[in-house]
Structure 1
């Protein structure tokens, strides 16, 4: 199968809206789908997907392209990797490429080794050697259906994964890179041994890492895969591949700490639960959550470590303007233990009573300081005011300042003066800085392209004007914008070679991100606008006239050069000058 044919078949089977919805919650509005852009932080959706034209575009960061550009960008992979990934999702065999591109990154081999490793661990769980692990899971109320749903496994104490994966063709170098093998004095050995295995998957359901819980005493409770070319702990969430549908439908995320917390939540019907792979939530994980929902319920362990982690997490959610509420469970409880002992109804009651971020921050501060003393009031204000100041909404700042004033029984004006003093001294409540947003990559500003060129190129791209009509008297040189001219030149070259070529084939082969962004923006911004034949001809005439005037000006300058030297201009130059002068007078 030709590479181009494969691309068309992928697009036919999947569709751009379906592909984008794997990563972004989309709402269908008219001819387009809208959602929050995954490439920059925003509260109001400016990200659009045009199913009919096969393009996405964000009016916020001004990026856009087709489904291949989207997958390349969001997965940070090459075009060929995106093509093969989508071919697999579409049920097509990548070996059907006529010229299959090499996997230069080597990621495909890594994914294959991880998938084989996961299958090996699952087999071991159901084998005789895994009986004590199965009993352990059953004792925690986790049935076989849940093991299979999450792909749980067991790494035997005596090992076996490395030798099994070597037989399957995995290299020791890759196994070490993935944290499945460790090098010792006498050779390589299994990294995971005697542990209950939790496979960590990316948003597409590919295994990218493992977490292992010890089954015997005397070893670290949890062992996790190291960072690798396919796994960045700071940008992944456990169970998001399973939870994303419920999150998109419900509009909120239940964020827990550990693997078993997430599994217990799903088993109890809270299918929007994801785990942060430990208490240290990162900006990258917050950005990932923000792609799917703007509300999060934080249900960490109810101990000191969990409280500190919740406070750090709230600062990150505040930075991304994601509404965060904290679920306060009884002391010493975590979601897993609470659900097993009290059940889903009791847990649901706690979710309903979750504290908004400001009230949780204030409650934690009140535990540490006495609001009945002057020094206590000062300390509470010092801790809470910077958090209030970090809210981007002036209304939120005002309302929260009023809450603090009422709690401390002081005037709001006193708190505002204190806040200004703290700000001047640089006292900040931010526990972690930065966020995982992708820097903007702005193409040639659309405002620098003339309206006539924008409108005409949009007509060409939307196939609302024939190429015969465009190129009858006009050419690529009539476009002043270098980027527009480049796109039109490519279309003109294809059209000149084969008048029956399809424009959608041209659009689907754009690999230049700047070109793709401009194309997507022009198509998106001109949606719903139609022009009459007279208006189309006027656009063509405007571009042609501009070119003629530039040529005429150049001829004028050449004529002036000859006359300035006291010479007669060549006859050919004079004739060209008069011919253009006549054309412009007629116009």
Structure 2
């Protein structure tokens, strides 16, 4: 490119080169290069896969005004006609998954270039299809990403199913080993999206005891609120009650309480819960704190201990915070990107696009930490309140201790934040 007259500063801005001690160097050296095109077929970025065991395994072009992974789906330019014709899109994680499936004859496959499926990608597909099947890797990260993706796709108005690749293999490996017909069976057996979310949530909780059952129900309620009508929600509640051996009426009552808190219409159609009312308040505080620390990494030491106690609700943001603290004042965007997975890289690009409000940065940091503390306390309050209700209904004497604990947390919230929401 230099021989063709491209200036190194332009290559750096395009994410193809980086500046080192000895000048500019090729960021994609020793990698197989995969062009990334937009829906119109224009090359807007590149992905590179290593040929050895070095890390990161995949490297993408840095975010530019042309290349934004949240707004792109790899292979959409080729798959567009097949998706529109079939009314269905299959979404996989990586380039090689999509390439191998197209080679095997699955023309309606696109890749989200990592596990972070976005609202923008959902809207792209919603214009072309009625249904989306997610076929992410079967590892823990892939399954968690599938849980999140179901909600995002359903919010866009898509029907959603989840295809699980047997034996923990990824789609690329499976289709090359077993062929077209075997993978077609995988897609045909894809599970309903909400059923998958419920199953995964139950797996994350110890439902052998009552506390685990209560926690599972609390975590499943947001998925039930995404149902398009009360009939669908009631069916999921009935099956959930059978699985957890909990009275169906108790779960239905908690569902109604959650619906009232979230603004759900009882006439059938749910209203979209405002972002700041769902996971938004906590995520806004977490992202704003990270944006501040990216601007002033020296503040990491001041808040590290408190953040470890409070924790991040979002695991991707938690990873970003940990890596940032490890780099400390030696942090640069390139160094940070090199130690993040795809989901965290996407989050980093989104956070860097935020504008910091003017004013006292120390006060801003404390406000973010204060909001994170509050949400942690409110979550603890809700857990103990639900336990107290359950114990009281079953005449279990432990309801009194749970009631006292929930009241203690409620008083602490009131003392710290005033009598808001509780």
TM range (shorter): 0.5 to 0.7
What are the within-5 Å matches in structure 2 for residues 294-313 of structure 1?
294-313=130-149
Matched with 1:197 is 33
Secondary structure, in 3 states, of the residue corresponding to 2:168?
coil
Per-residue CA deviations over 1:72-106 (Å, capped at 9, x if unaligned) read xxxxxxxxxxxxxxxxxxxxxxxxxxxxxxxxxxx
2-structure distance, mates of 1:317, 1:403: 23
Task: Return the offset for 1:289.
Answer: 1.6
2-structure distance, mates of 1:392, 1:317: 13
Matched with 2:116 is 280
Matched with 1:358 is 194
2-structure distance, mates of 1:397, 1:256: 28
Structure having the larger proportion of residues in helix: 2
Task: Return the offset for 1:431.
Answer: 5.8
What are the within-5 Å matches in structure 2 for residues 341-380 of structure 1?
341-371=177-207, 373-380=209-216
Task: Return the offset for 1:259.
Answer: 0.6
Q: Is the alpha carbon distance of 1:368 and 1:185 closer, same or farther for their aligned partners in structure 2, counting shifts above 3 Å? A: closer
Matched with 2:91 is 255
Matched with 2:420 is none
Asked whether the equivalents of residues 382 and 422 of structure 1 are also in contact (C-alpha less than 8 Å), the reply is: no
Equivalent residue pairs, number:
269
Higher Cα radius of gyration: 1
What are the within-5 Å matches in structure 2 for residues 376-525 of structure 1?
376-422=212-258
1-structure distance, mates of 2:240, 2:143: 20
Matched with 1:265 is 101
2-structure distance, mates of 1:181, 1:369: 46
1-structure distance, mates of 2:247, 2:130: 33
Q: Is the alpha carbon distance of 1:330 and 1:273 closer, same or farther for their aligned partners in structure 2, counting shifts above 3 Å? A: same
2-structure distance, mates of 1:414, 1:217: 52
Task: Return the offset for 1:175.
Answer: 1.4
Normalising by structure 1, we get a TM-score of: 0.43
1-structure distance, mates of 2:260, 2:19: 54
Per-residue CA deviations over 1:271-320 (Å, capped at 9, x if unaligned) read 11111011111111111121211211110000101111111111111211
Task: Return the offset for 1:230.
Answer: 1.1
- Bigger drift between 389-398 and 295-304 goes to 389-398
Which of 62, 82, 88 is matched with 1:246 structurally? 82
Normalising by structure 2, we get a TM-score of: 0.59
1-structure distance, mates of 2:149, 2:38: 22
Q: Is the alpha carbon distance of 1:240 and 1:372 closer, same or farther for their aligned partners in structure 2, counting shifts above 3 Å? A: same
Asked whether the equivalents of residues 247 and 272 of structure 1 are also in contact (C-alpha less than 8 Å), the reply is: yes
Secondary structure, in 3 states, of the residue corresponding to 1:407?
helix
Q: Is the alpha carbon distance of 1:430 and 1:392 closer, same or farther for their aligned partners in structure 2, counting shifts above 3 Å? A: farther
Q: Is the alpha carbon distance of 1:310 and 1:375 closer, same or farther for their aligned partners in structure 2, counting shifts above 3 Å? A: same
What are the within-5 Å matches in structure 2 for residues 119-268 of structure 1?
165-268=1-104
Secondary structure, in 3 states, of the residue corresponding to 2:6?
coil
* Alignment pair present for 1:322 and 2:153: no
Secondary structure, in 3 states, of the residue corresponding to 2:91?
strand
Asked whether the equivalents of residues 315 and 432 of structure 1 are also in contact (C-alpha less than 8 Å), the reply is: no
Which of 291, 296, 310 is matched with 2:127 structurally? 291
- Stretches of structure 1 lacking an aligned partner (at least 5 in a row): 1-164, 434-587
1-structure distance, mates of 2:257, 2:231: 21
RMSD after superposition: 2.4
1-structure distance, mates of 2:150, 2:164: 14
Asked whether the equivalents of residues 150 and 194 of structure 2 are also in contact (C-alpha less than 8 Å), the reply is: no
Task: Return the offset for 1:362.
Answer: 1.8
Secondary structure, in 3 states, of the residue corresponding to 2:166?
coil
Asked whether the equivalents of residues 251 and 293 of structure 1 are also in contact (C-alpha less than 8 Å), the reply is: yes
